[in-house]
Amino acid sequence: MTMFKRLETLHRICNEINNNASSIAKCIHNASNVSYREMHKAAFFSLVDENIKLSRQEKKYCKNLYVYEFELNNVAYKWGTPKRCLNCKLTRYSEKYCENCISLHLQKIFDAWTSGNEIIDNFIQECQKLSPLPNYIMEWIPFHQFENVRYLTKGGFGSIYIATWKRGYITDYDENEKAFTYFGPQYVALKVLKGSNNPGKFFFDEVSIRVKMVLDAFPHTYLLTWLK
Ligand SMILES: [Zn+2]
């Protein structure tokens, strides 16, 4: 089995375990003081440990994947236990991620990138201040990060291209290293919007619609670039 096929199977097994954990947690959490989420997490971990189809490494992978989503949700929905962050001194809701610390890190590197257009830069900076979690960060992507750019079709408001994004989206943030990690090469669709060199209300309306559509399908992918 190829590595890609095995990864696909692994995600399918993880999903099955996740569904089984939901059934178990639903049955027993009403009779307990432990929250549904904690119950679900314990059931998931226990089912992963018992699963004979998974190797030791794969069990670790499934658990890491679970914790990653769990901690992101703790911050995004404030589901985690609130506590004071030792770094920024504000309230954080996750052991793994402090929204404010990541936001401060993003603000520190505002000077490291520019689209060449002040309005676009301000727009992305405001988005990053509002949404600094890995998977949900709006970014300016310099065009040299794309390769194999090919024309696909014409859409309602502009042309659509496909390309390989060499770096890939931000998958994680290491609090100790103060550094992001990236997905690596991935296929992306690029859209040329009319009037994007002189952005006005139409441009931002169109970007907002696209961002919403893409977020519904792929929560981690939204980016802006100039097609040259
Ligand atoms: Zn913090």
Q: In this structure, are 72 and 104 located in the same domain? A: no
**Is residue 209 predicted with pLDDT exceeding 90?**
no
Instruction: Give the separation between CA 10 and CA 12, rounded to whole angstroms.
Output: 5
Query: Do 130 and 25 lie in a common domain?
Result: no
**Is residue 135 one of the residues assigned to a domain?**
yes
The answer to whether residue 109 sits within a structural domain is yes
Q: Which of 41, 76, 111 corresponds to the end of one domain?
A: 76
For residue range 142-180, what is the model confidence (pLDDT) as tens digits?
999 999 999 988 876 678 899 999 999 999 999 999 999
Domain encompassing residue 176: 99-224
How would you list the strands of the sheet with 159-165, edge to edge?
A: 146-154, 159-165, 186-191
**Residue 205 included in any domain:** yes
Read off the DSSP letter of residue 156: S
Same domain, 196 and 129: yes
Same domain, 9 and 105: no
Q: Tell whether the model's pLDDT for residue 82 goes beyond 50.
A: yes
Whether 81 contacts 155, CB under 8 Å: no
Residue 7 scores a pLDDT above 90: no
- Both 151 and 219 in one domain: the answer is yes
Of residues 136, 134, 133, 143, the one with CA closest to residue 163: 143
Residue 184 alpha carbon to ligand 1 centre in Å:
27
- Do 14 and 104 lie in a common domain? no
| Distance in Å, CA 130 to ligand 1 centroid | 15
If you compute the radius of gyration of the chain from its CA atoms, what whole number of angstroms results? 20
User: Are residues 170 and 129 both part of a single domain?
Assistant: yes
Q: Same domain for 116 and 214?
A: yes
Q: Give the count of domains, the chain.
A: 2
Of residues 5 and 30, the one with the higher pLDDT is 5
Mark whether 107 and 218 lie in a shared domain: yes
In this structure, are 29 and 120 located in the same domain? no
| Angle, vertex CA 63, rays to CA 188 and CA 68, nearest 5 | 50
β-strands 91-92, 83-84 pairing: antiparallel
Tens of pLDDT, residues 107-138: 999 999 998 888 889 888 988 988 899 988 98
What's the gap in Å between 41 CA and the centre of ligand 1?
25
Same domain, residue pair 119 and 219:
yes
- Each residue's pLDDT tens digit, 21-73: 999 988 877 766 678 898 999 999 999 999 999 999 999 999 999 999 999 99
CB 168 within 8 A of CB 139: no
Closest residue by Cα to residue 100 from 207, 173, 184, 14: 173
Q: Say if 91 falls within a structural domain.
A: no
Residue 221 pLDDT > 50, yes or no? no
Distance from the alpha carbon of residue 60 to the mean position of ligand 1, in angstroms:
27
Residue 70 sits in the same domain as residue 109 = no
How far is the centre of ligand 1, averaged over its atoms, from the C-alpha of 159 (Å)? Answer: 41
Ligand 1 centroid to 43 CA: how many Å? 30
* Surface-to-core class of residue 178, CB atoms within 10 Å of its CB (0-12 exposed, 13-18 middle, 19+ buried): middle
With contact defined as beta carbons under 8 Å apart, do 174 and 210 qualify? no
91 membership: H or E segment, kind and range: strand 91-92
Instruction: Say how many Å lie between the CA of residue 125 and the centre of ligand 1.
Output: 19
Give the domain-ending residue among 26, 43, 76.
Answer: 76
Residue 222 has pLDDT above 50, yes or no: no
Residue 84 lies in a domain: no
pLDDT for 205 equals 72
- 157 lies in some domain: yes
